[in-house]
Amino acid sequence: MSRSALCIEPHYLGNLEFFTRLIDSKKVILEVSDYFMKQTYRNRCYIMGPNGIQMLTVPVHYYKKSFFRDVTIDYHQNWVKDHQKAVQAAYGKAPFFDYFYDLYDQVWVSKPKFLLDLSISMMTVCLDILQIDRSFDLTTSYAQETQKDILDLRNLISAKKPTQSKSFYQPVSYIQNFGSNFVGNLSIIDLLMCEGPNGLNILQQSRND
């Protein structure tokens, strides 16, 4: 299923399924010209905290037909502090917390205006930790279909679709900070806090092309 180019919507601290695709594509085209959809990975992620799986959501301002690239972040809600505290509680004692937490914190405290900028900054931090140099192209208009040499995964990685129903991701376990049973496909931040740069090996093993 691997192709040289990938078209996908930006995710906020995307899950492992999302990142197996990013590391496998030489060129990444981010779909930013479609309408924003709520209750998706565009503005949420899942981590493993002391009380189990926890959802982190970025509140946003948008209209019924707002393009993703125009969606702005709502800072009237104190979500930045909530995300900081949640990640600290979840990974404060994880092996790589002290090495990487500040990289994420710098993005949060910079308070980007647009959800797109927040997502790209977080993706860049994660790819840098994985030692992968990847740039992003942005769509300028929406096309129903992509070119044949581009792998189109737009809206296929969804919290509403079970991972088991997909053919391109196979969970590989690693030692998580909480819980006795491994939980796959959490946010990339779970993998990186627990495994650091070795997370790349986990992602590569998780590919099921």
> 12-16, 144-148, 173-177, 181-185: lowest mean pLDDT where?
144-148
The pLDDT of residue 191 is above 90? yes
* Residues 16 and 206: beta-carbon distance below 8 Å: yes
How much is the mean pLDDT over the chain? 92
* Residues 133 and 23: beta-carbon distance below 8 Å: no
Structure token digits, residue 129: 């930790």
What domain count does the chain have? Answer: 1
Fill in the DSSP letter of residue 207: B
Total-model pTM: 0.93
- pLDDT of 75-85, one tens digit each? 999 999 999 99
- Exposure string for 192-203, b = 16+ CB within 10 A, e = fewer: bbbbbeebbebb
pLDDT: which is higher, 105 or 133 = 105
The range of the structural domain enclosing residue 191 comes to 5-206
- pLDDT of 83-121, one tens digit each? 999 999 999 999 999 999 999 999 999 999 999 999 999
> Would you tell me how many other CB atoms lie within 10 Å of the CB of residue 89?
16
The pLDDT of residue 1 is above 80? no
